[in-house]
């Protein structure tokens, strides 16, 4: 029972962190910057190289910080219950996480629709 509660907490916190940091847009921005760097000719590359590298570095740091934060949260929850890792890796755990996230997303959209 404690594993399911920890699974709910981990799923909801991970969902909110990914929404807060706008993770999907960060990854798409990273891909766009990579494409920009590879498809520029040499003259344009010299002008825009450091600007794009700075943006690439900042975006990579944001993604890295988000992933590290999520891993720290999972590590702390695994310290509470040793069998949580087995549940997270199992097929049943993945199905439970999927249902939890779908229900949480639907609940959240209905609550925000009323506000």
**Residue pLDDT, tens place only, 66-112:** 999 999 999 999 999 989 889 989 999 999 999 999 999 999 998 88
**Residue pLDDT, tens place only, 12-64:** 999 999 999 999 999 998 898 888 777 766 666 676 777 778 888 999 999 99
Cβ–Cβ under 8 Å, residues 81 and 6: yes
- Our CA dihedral for 25, 31, 36, 39, rounded to 10 degrees, sits at -150
pTM above 0.85, yes or no: no
Residue 83 main-chain phi, psi, to 5 deg: -85, 0
Average pLDDT, the chain: 88
């Amino acid at each position: 029972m404690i594993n399911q509660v920890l699974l709910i907490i981990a799923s909801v916190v991970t969902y909110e962190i990914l929404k807060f940091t706008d993770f999907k847009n960060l990854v798409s921005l990273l891909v766009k910057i990579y494409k920009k760097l590879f498809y520029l000719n040499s003259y344009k590359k010299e002008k825009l190289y450091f600007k794009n590298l700075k943006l690439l570095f900042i975006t990579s740091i944001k993604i890295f910080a988000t992933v590290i934060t999520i891993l720290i949260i999972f590590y702390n929850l695994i310290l509470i219950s040793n069998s949580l890792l087995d549940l997270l890796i199992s097929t049943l755990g993945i199905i439970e996480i999927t249902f939890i996230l779908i229900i949480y997303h639907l609940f959240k959209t209905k609550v925000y629709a009323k506000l």
